[in-house]
Amino acid sequence: MNASKVAAAALALSLALSSASAFAQAAMASGEVRKIDEAAGKITLKHGPIKSLDMEDEMTMVFRVQDPAMLKQVKVGDKVNFDAERAPAGITITKIQKGK
């Protein structure tokens, strides 16, 4: 391959990865931390729609967290983005990060 084909391939790969990242970010739900219960491994979030769970209404809910260490990443009042899934023990946060 010549240099221009390599550069074009690298650019295409870069664009594909960045759009996949943007899609993943858009799929996350957003909310605000209202309460953290480290002993129980739970977090209370005021959140908007959670499309992955077909939840369209805004509400405040208590969630379990998949990994209790997640609770150390955030504090009450933080804006967050998160992923959640239905589990036998209830709706569980599988990923959480501070929002912007």
- Phi/psi of residue 40, nearest 5 degrees: -95, -10
Distance CA 32, CA 53 (A): 18
What pLDDT is stored for residue 21 in this prediction?
A: 42
Predicted confidence band of residue 27 (pLDDT cuts 50, 70, 90):
confident
Higher pLDDT, 10 or 98: 98
Distance CA 42, CA 81 (A): 16
Non-local (6+) Cβ contacts of 20 within 8 A are: none
pTM: 0.73
Instruction: Identify the structural domains of the chain with CATH numbers, from first to last.
Output: 29-98 (2.40.50.320)
pLDDT digits (tens, 9 = 90+) for 36-85: 999 999 999 999 999 999 999 999 999 999 999 999 999 999 999 999 99
